[in-house]
Amino acid sequence: MNDLLQSLGVSLALALVTTVILLLLTPPLAWWLARSSSRLRAPVEALVALPMVLPPTVLGFYLLLAMAGEGFLGEAWNGLTGTPLAFTFSGLVIGSVIYSLPFVSQPLAASFRTTSDTLLEAAAVLGDSPVRRFLRLVLPLHRRALVAAGVLGFAHTLGEFGIVLMIGGNIPGETRVLSILLFDQVESLNYAAAHITALLLLGFSLLALTVTYSTLSRRP
């Protein structure tokens, strides 16, 4: 039971930190993806969507190389903080942000695409600069999509396994999240504990999706 609570704590902390970072980073990116006519848009969109199709282990493998002591991420991190990045909670957060990015950016971009030009023009004529228009009009207009994207990002981070295994390992209280705990429990044939862990993850995922879909289907 102690293991379960400890892993639940790590999982929730990871998902929370990841979601907060994603909700800060993603809206401008999604707005650019939804509205830009730049030639760079398609390649960037593909890059952002990559984690949806790539096996998590592939992503995890490259991230592991980058986060290693001599990898560019690991070296930069070590220079900044004096600590290694691989097999730490911070490393997990970076991996999760990349891995969950498309799950936050895609619903947001889809919602942003529906923004009426007339409303943006009205806001401009009323004195709002592009940045103010984004903060005062676009974000409030799409607040349901923001909530839905946040919940989806949170739930998806909670359920990740492959990347965590590659870059986080299995350190109790630091990097052992619920999905890893479940794997351990099954490997050691502890089915009673595995049932509880699995049920917890199942219930939470179902709840998150229900919240997402009911939020999105309500009228703006």
Q: Does 215 bind other proteins (CB under 8 A)?
A: no
First to last CA, the chain: 43
Q: Give the whole-angstrom CA distance, residue 196 versus residue 179.
A: 12
Residue recorded with tokens 């800060």? 24
Q: Give the whole-angstrom CA distance, residue 184 versus residue 70.
A: 30
CA angle centred on 16, ends 19 and 184, rounded to 5°: 115
Q: Does 125 bind other proteins (CB under 8 A)?
A: yes
- Please identify, using beta-carbon distances, which residue of 122 and 207 lies nearer to other proteins: 122
CB of 210 to other proteins, least distance (A): 23
Counting every residue, how long is the chain? 220
Q: Give the whole-angstrom CA distance, residue 188 versus residue 203.
A: 23
Q: Does 119 bind other proteins (CB under 8 A)?
A: yes
Q: Does 124 bind other proteins (CB under 8 A)?
A: yes
- Please identify, using beta-carbon distances, which residue of 133 and 176 lies nearer to other proteins: 133
CB of 128 to other proteins, least distance (A): 5
Q: Does 68 bind other proteins (CB under 8 A)?
A: no
Residue recorded with tokens 């009911």? 214
How many residues sit close enough to other proteins to count as binding (CB under 8 A)? 20
Q: Does 135 bind other proteins (CB under 8 A)?
A: no
The distance of Cα 213 from the centroid of its chain, to the nearest Å, equals 18
Q: Does 121 bind other proteins (CB under 8 A)?
A: yes
Window 136 to 175, contacts with other proteins (CB under 8 A):
136-137, 140-141, 143
Residues lying near other proteins in the complex (CB under 8 A) are found at 116, 118-119, 121-129, 132-133, 136-137, 140-141, 143, 220
